[in-house]
Amino acid sequence: MKNLCALTLLLLSVDTMANTSPFSAGQVPTFQQLFDNTGTVLSNITNNTGSNYSTRVDGLDLQVTFDCTADISKTFPMGLLINAKQNLKYQANFMEPNFGIIQLEYAINDESFRSIAHQGANDMMSSQEHLLQPDRLSRFNLPTGHSILNQVMLDRQQYVQNNQIGQASYSVTIMLPVSSDQDRIAIKLNPFHISWLNAYTTTCQNAI
């Protein structure tokens, strides 16, 4: 009987530990608590054009942009600038009402893909002459505060808050259509490695 009681207490103790979260009910993790030592690592790269934080994902160069004025309790303050190395399937005809639109797909944490129309006209145009720049058709810019990045951050908050041990850390996969054929370029990354937080605090000189 004593052994049975001891076993019951042990099982209850293990179950309690497995479901224990460092956050109380309704408490949302702070921005810095979203980051750990797993995920896509950023590096500070210096070249002829200056210094930037970037990485290489699936064979493509990815540069990170920052919005130091963003409300980090609601908005992911970093954006993605991707060099696809080939023209993407933007609507490049000025006469079309959907000029600048690119239809992309994305998935969060390997869930089902969703489709979204992304407006990229500003990235295709020269800011001075307001003319289409053909060499920019291979660039893709997902700016800070974009709904995809904000959703990734929200899901990450829930992941950390629930202390979901054993589950994959939140990542995002973006499928970019290529103009030359029906193929798509896939980029998968996890923007919650501690190097992203360090890059943000260094760039924005923000003590959080």
In this predicted structure, the answer to whether residue 67 has a pLDDT above a threshold of 60 is: yes
With respect to residue 194, please indicate whether it lies within any of the assigned structural domains.
Answer: yes
What is the number of structural domains in the chain? 1
Summarised one tens digit per residue, pLDDT across range 83-116 is 888 888 887 666 666 777 888 999 998 889 999 9
C-alpha to C-alpha distance for 67 and 58, rounded to whole angstroms: 25
With respect to residue 15, please indicate whether it lies within any of the assigned structural domains.
Answer: no
pLDDT of residue 85: 86
- What average pLDDT does range 144-162 have in this prediction? 90
- Unique residue bearing structure tokens 């797909």: 105
- Whole-model pTM: value is 0.78
Q: Which domain holds residue 39?
A: 32-204
Radius of gyration of the chain, Cα coordinates, nearest whole angstrom: 21
Confidence of residue 159 (pLDDT cuts 50, 70, 90): confident
